[in-house]
Structure 1
């Protein structure tokens, strides 16, 4: 790329960034609210002093972040600014981390989920506690049979932790937990656990968390969740999965495809 082309690209980028900052300011200052339609392109281009091309680039960027939504033939709208959608790009970051860096994410997860458990202990209803019980009962049945399905285990683990995070009453906290502990990371943890027969330990720790939650004991819930996740964190650090096996379903599909080619 020539120097002139590089300079032109830099100028276009700065204009796009300026539009992004301007639209963000409109939302922060209350000029635009969740669900509002943006003014037409011509008006915004004149207001921001940029071309329609720069404006569209900014809109596309904000749409990818979950801030804006373009509706065919109806214009561009501010989304409901749901924290799950806005924080989901963190999951992309989490998926890109190698085995060594994944330990850092687990440390962050421990801090967040420990607090979520404490908050959930005073907010969970009986029905929600029964749902947590049912999740663990299903895992116990599989453990007793000695045939824990990787997909089912990962789904049960995710459902258990997500239900507790959601019950914290803090949508941002719940969204952060959900974004940081992705299916790829759970798949890596499953690989480490099953290779070393630690399912029973993890299951017993889940039960201990649930006992504290049922007792409406915030501090006990925090301690049990912290102990559980610290164990997961230390175990993963001591037994890293050097190659990413993907999710169990992905691995099974790959094996099946290989077999069909032979």
Structure 2
């Protein structure tokens, strides 16, 4: 009888941990070992989105560690947004990753300091022209319609700083969604809390007149128009022009960065 047939006749394991084949973990960095094993099972599809993990006791027996080690591994994966842990409920693989753990990381990395915020602006300028370029290549009719609706919200919010900031952030988030690149979308959305703080500083400098609001909206509209025209080069230029228009204000907010050569703050 073939090996395949023998395996088919063998009684299946029933404790739910058979997917974690391999030796008992060595007593060095046990939590990291459990994290690695669980991560591999999620990444290669043995544990699917929404699926419940085996009980802590079963995982502990499978890996040869204590339940406390398994619990800590689950806690760290939950902090990364990979697992959903609920009191009195089974721990499950999340249905879809979101950017909240990344957003927390960027808030800590920027540290709420002007230097950190200035670096976030530079990072955004390096990323977003290419994001916009991808959006022009991959945007769908439905995605473009949503972008137009966000533009309408921005038009309605002129002069209302909190509403304007929310709509402006949604515009840039949606460009990342239009890019068709899931990692780009997560990165841009993860930066949102830091960029929101920059926008608050930007809009608090001095009262803005109707012409200034209109000019800012027009720059966003040009980005949307070039995306609709499926013109990646024009879209990238429009996004670069949008950032360049804020050069003076950014230099006022972050004078320590103003001494850098122009190419450092306005990517080519």
Q: Contact between 1:117 and 1:168, CA under 8 Å: does it hold in 2?
A: yes
Q: 1:188 to 1:109 in 2, by over 3 A?
A: closer
TM-score (norm 2): 0.71
Equivalent in the alignment of 1:226: 240
The equivalent position to 2:162 in structure 1, one of 151, 156, 166, is 151
Residues 153-211 of structure 1: CA deviation (Å, up to 9, x unaligned)? 101101211222111111211111011121x5324323323424354443232122122
Alignment of 1:185-224 (within 5 A): 185-196=195-206, 197=208, 199-224=213-238
For structure 1, the residue ranges without an aligned partner over 5 or more in a row are 1-11, 242-262
CA distance in 2, matches of 1:44, 1:150: 51
Alignment: residue pair count? 226
Q: Contact between 2:110 and 2:120, CA under 8 Å: does it hold in 1?
A: no
CA distance in 2, matches of 1:126, 1:47: 50
Equivalent in the alignment of 2:179: 168
Q: CA deviation at 1:51?
A: 1.4
Q: 1:125 to 1:38 in 2, by over 3 A?
A: closer
Q: Contact between 1:65 and 1:89, CA under 8 Å: does it hold in 2?
A: no
Residues 23-50 of structure 1: CA deviation (Å, up to 9, x unaligned)? 2233234432322322222221123232
Q: CA deviation at 1:91?
A: 4.3
Residues 198-236 of structure 1: CA deviation (Å, up to 9, x unaligned)? 544432321221221222211111121133235446632
Instruction: Report which of the two structures shows the higher radius of gyration computed on alpha carbons.
Output: 2
Q: CA deviation at 1:238?
A: 3.3
Q: CA deviation at 1:73?
A: 4.2
Equivalent in the alignment of 1:177: 188
Q: 1:136 to 1:68 in 2, by over 3 A?
A: closer
Secondary structure at 1:195's aligned position in 2? coil
Equivalent in the alignment of 1:64: 79
CA distance in 1, matches of 2:55, 2:227: 51
Equivalent in the alignment of 1:17: 32
Q: Contact between 1:120 and 1:165, CA under 8 Å: does it hold in 2?
A: yes
- The structure carrying a bigger helix percent of its residues is 1
Tell which deviates more after alignment, 212-221 or 197-206.
197-206
For structure 2, the residue ranges without an aligned partner over 5 or more in a row are 1-26, 256-268
TM-score (norm 1): 0.72
